[in-house]
Structure 1
């Protein structure tokens, strides 16, 4: 399901009289046999988040964070999680969509930690993001997850089958140090891999590598009116992109918010452009990244109603 809003502000932020909207981009990944890592998109205008396991609130998270490790869970058990946002007035928004994660089975008497991830490399992806990759760690049983640390503090977690991630929401022209460590089902932690030090690009380019790719624009006519048809490849960032902003002739025109499963490989959308043939327009779009910031704009395309390229 795709929700549309014209001239929208950012999703879910308080507007002075309404409760925040539901957090988007919520995901859950088992971190061990007794823990699950939950993440969500940051919202503007909120003071805190509440994270629920089923109907039970498990913790409050400050607005500056958009992740939580939920611990003391039962091995080999399926769990359901939701997140709610709270504003400065104490208004609590509706719950996010439910996400599910199943903890792996516990392994008896496992005291052997995984090896450290090797070959950690990275590169700056513009001024506000970096891309990290590493060689898989090994374990006598199985690596269940990886912790990503920034300056020694865990900022993210990914599944044990994943050996790359994108860290967003960084500051332009700033030097960072990242390390990666592996975790098994018994919560044994490996030593951290070698630190990789990266400096984001100066200025504020919005992170060019976060722009939608292969952006194409055409038009079609239906019921006496013309529509502009868009197709693009979502940016390759860690997490889920649920919202895009379309800019028409240099002005924000429409925001798209996916309420179901957002596309990962190819996205399309059509919107009304009027009844006049031969009308020229310039179109581009950008994605709201999982950390709540806007990515870079796509290339701008020119299109004329009734004329195919």
Structure 2
């Protein structure tokens, strides 16, 4: 009987000790890469806004941890790349770092520290800044856009501007800036942006006027399929309150016969016509029964000739 050599036994033992013989490894055996593009902006005298760039090649990242001077301040999910840190002290300098965590529980190295000094608190400052004006947007390809607006005024000082996409805050810049570059957008998608000014006492202005942007289609994706010119108008006729929607149907290779309507993010009804569906300008009116002063968020999307649902329209807010 032939016995294995000492060398063969050593090799077999080495293979057992390694995660895989031949150089392979278990998934997520290494930690994720360090978050890049970390920045911090003073939002008010008691809060700071920390942002970072997601790694497009990250494998299995499940969340991020944000540290203030070495102490963990917040934990967020993988889909979040910004966070407000509140409860800070006015006129104080802070240092923040961010690290990623993957599905195996491994962490990336912490990012390089970023520093910010919060402004002083102004006693009895209860007046919000004026709303930003003349909001404009310029597309930057299929994945980015640049917003610009006119400066707000405040009885003390504007410390920051918050950018909203729909009802969600997605970016913050300093009070001395009147532009913001937004990245990570999806191709052939309609976005609705507004901007609010904020002062050192955390008073926020009314939102600016909204501006819509439809990002360019990706190569081979085809034309955009969202209804355009979408509007929502409150009506009251003989005591009956309603909302009138109007839009231009998307340009497709066939007839658009129906639409889904979403109220406050939830599918509410499917709009169809008994006769031929309008192809150049469409309207739809629905009655409301909630108390006066109720505000709705509404958007629609078309059923395309191939049976799929198209891209959502811009989301509109209407008070009845």
In the other structure, the counterpart of 2:53 is 41
Query: What secondary structure, in the 3-state scheme, does the structure 1 residue paired with 2:37 have?
Result: coil
Q: How does 1:6-21 map to 2 (within 5 A)?
A: 16-21=28-33
Unaligned 5+ runs, structure 1: 1-13, 206-309
Displaced runs of 4 or more, over 3 A: none
Give, in angstroms, the shift of residue 88 of structure 1.
0.6
Give, in angstroms, the shift of residue 16 of structure 1.
2.7
In angstroms, what is the RMSD of aligned CA positions? 1.4
| Pairing partner for 1:67 from 82, 90, 97 | 82
Equivalent residues, number: 192
Contact 2:32 2:100 in 1 (8 A): yes
In the other structure, the counterpart of 1:168 is 183
Unaligned 5+ runs, structure 2: 1-25, 221-320
For 1:202-259, what per-residue CA distance to the aligned partner results, in whole angstroms no more than 9, with x for missing partners?
A: 1249xxxxxxxxxxxxxxxxxxxxxxxxxxxxxxxxxxxxxxxxxxxxxxxxxxxxxx
In the other structure, the counterpart of 1:105 is 120
| Pairing partner for 2:38 from 26, 47, 51 | 26
TM-score, length basis structure 2: 0.58
Contact 1:127 1:204 in 2 (8 A): no
In the other structure, the counterpart of 1:159 is 174
Q: Tell me the distance in 1 between the aligned counterparts of 2:185 and 2:36.
A: 20
Contact 1:123 1:132 in 2 (8 A): yes
For 1:148-194, what per-residue CA distance to the aligned partner results, in whole angstroms no more than 9, with x for missing partners?
A: 00011100100001100111111111111000000000000000000
For 1:83-104, what per-residue CA distance to the aligned partner results, in whole angstroms no more than 9, with x for missing partners?
A: 0110011111211101100100
Contact 1:42 1:66 in 2 (8 A): yes
TM-score, length basis structure 1: 0.61
Give, in angstroms, the shift of residue 33 of structure 1.
0.1
In the other structure, the counterpart of 2:106 is 91
Structure with higher Rg: it is 2
Give, in angstroms, the shift of residue 131 of structure 1.
1.2
Query: What secondary structure, in the 3-state scheme, does the structure 1 residue paired with 2:129 have?
Result: coil
For 1:57-77, what per-residue CA distance to the aligned partner results, in whole angstroms no more than 9, with x for missing partners?
A: 111111111111111100000
